[in-house]
Amino acid sequence: MSDLRSIVFDREVAPFERLKALMELLRSENGCAWDRKQTHESLMPYLIEETYEVIEAIKGREDTALCEELGDLVLQVVFHAQIAKERGAFETNEVVESIVKKLVKRHPHVFEESYDLSPEEVRDQWENIKVDSGEKQGVLNGLPSSMPALLMAFRVGEKAGGVGFDWKRPEDVLEKLREELREIEAACQSEDRALVEDEIGDLLFATVSLARKYEIDPEQSLKKALDKFRDRFSLMEQKVREARKSFKEYTLDELEEIWQQVKKH
């Protein structure tokens, strides 16, 4: 363990190697009880949390925060790799070697025969290589079921588009949205709840496809809409309080009038 400690504090050693030694030390009998207790499963909430904190730093355009949060995310990778190493499954260097091989394989236009591709063509080539190589049994295989639904809808449409099954123009998706709205209206008239649910799902999927055509992240788009609604609703609550009333004392039309005033504000 003294060797691990010396590596951790040796500035001549590469930072990534020091991090690996630190994690191995923390997981040892001479390390930390909390770190020793962790498993792949127990670390999942932290992995998700750190990912979202990276996203927040990116949105905030704060380089110092982004640097720190990326470090926290790298820690999660090294933590999982150390647990795997203890199980005799794999270690950190194998994780890194695996992604290097994958990236070289997925970029034949860089490492084999040099030719220019647009970002969209690179994405489509990436998906085709995965299927053609047998790495994935189908175009849509490999998407984790635990993904947020909006993100999964985005990726499903992107993957299908990578092999040519996609609308050509945003206008085509708009027509699909109109079609889905008509189908929802018919489903509501039928009073078939299951059918209404199906049609709402189709409408949401088509909406995500429109976002994808404009290169808009639907998750962030919805988040912005929710933030905007929350801010406006808070202002409306403030006006209700200033009038020394409660929401129950207003008609829906009166509340709508206040809402429109808030929107103008």
Spell 189-206 as b/e; 16+ CB within 10 A means b.
eeeeeeebeebeebbebb
What pLDDT sits at residue 162?
A: 81
Whose structure tokens read 């175009």?
139
What pLDDT sits at residue 265?
A: 76
Vertex 85 angle, CA 74 and 48, to 5° = 35
Look at residues 56, 71, 105 and tell me which one is the last residue of a structural domain: 105
Q: Tens digit of pLDDT for each residue in 245-262? A: 999 999 999 999 999 999
What pLDDT sits at residue 146?
A: 81
Q: Is residue 200 part of a domain?
A: no
Q: Tens digit of pLDDT for each residue in 130-166? A: 777 777 677 888 788 888 899 899 999 988 888 888 9
What pLDDT sits at residue 226?
A: 95
Look at residues 105, 137, 153 and tell me which one is the last residue of a structural domain: 105
Structural domain total, the chain: 2
Q: Is residue 90 part of a domain?
A: yes
**Cα–Cα distance between 163 and 131 in angstroms, integer?**
10
What pLDDT sits at residue 16?
A: 95
Tokens (6 digits) for 140: 């849509």
Domain holding 89, by residue range, is: 2-105
Look at residues 74, 105, 136 and tell me which one is the last residue of a structural domain: 105
What pLDDT sits at residue 93?
A: 94
Which residues, given as ranges, of the chain have pLDDT below 50?
none
- Whether the model clears a pTM of 0.85, i.e. scores above it, the answer is no
Give 3-state DSSP helix, strand, coil % of the chain, rounded to 5.
75, 0, 25
